[in-house]
Amino acid sequence: MSDLKLQRRPLLDPAVADLINDMEQKQAESMLPRREREKKSRERAKIEARRDQRATYDLPPAVRKQVKDLAEELRLPASQLVTLALVRFLKAYEAGTIDLSPYLHSSASPRYDWNLVLPEELLPAAPKKKTRKG
């Protein structure tokens, strides 16, 4: 019995489930007072408009923290700071002033040929983990 791999069967098509959720949400919104309805609609439009600007990348925690700290210090959005850093990097790469070859190590993944392995001295010091004693 323990060897038996049981798998729950889907009760409904996932796309149909998404559609029903979406329609229910919109129907619930239509019952709200006008002000709240308009607010929801604005929020949705904002999310839609930002969708193409969103990206997810894995970053070392130390780099992430450094960006966050600098953004707080300069009192500006971290996204804009990262955009500036990336634009500067891409321009420098195009101009040939950045050489990736010292960091390239062959990758075992079938998806990639290379990994970029950065030396420790290039990365900021890892943030200290908080202990209970503080």
Partner 1 sequence: MKTIAFANQKGGVGKTTTAVTLAHGLALRGLRTLLVDLDPQGHVAYALGLPKSNGLYRLVCLGEPLGKVVVSARPNLDIIPGDKHTEKVKRHITLSDFRETILSDQLQRSGYQVVLLDMAPSLDVLHVNGLIASDWVLIPTRLDALAVDGVKEILSTMGEMSSRGHKFLGYSILPTFFDRTTRETLAQLKELVQAFGSRVWPPIPQDTRVRESAAYGKTVWEYTPETSATQGYPNGKQRIGGYQQTLDRLVEVIGV
Q: Which residues bind partner 1 (CB under 8 A)?
A: 9-13, 15-16, 18-20, 22-24, 26-27, 51
Q: CB of 124: closest distance to partner 1 in angstroms?
A: 33
The smaller minimum CB distance to partner 1, of residues 19 and 59, is found at 19
- Please give the C-alpha separations between residue 102 and each of 5, 106, 116, in angstroms, as whole numbers: 47, 12, 9
Q: CB of 110: closest distance to partner 1 in angstroms?
A: 25
Q: CB of 134: closest distance to partner 1 in angstroms?
A: 41
Distance CA 89, CA 2 (A): 54
Assign 78 to helix, strand or coil: helix
Q: What is the DSSP letter of 116?
A: E
The smaller minimum CB distance to partner 1, of residues 2 and 7, is found at 7
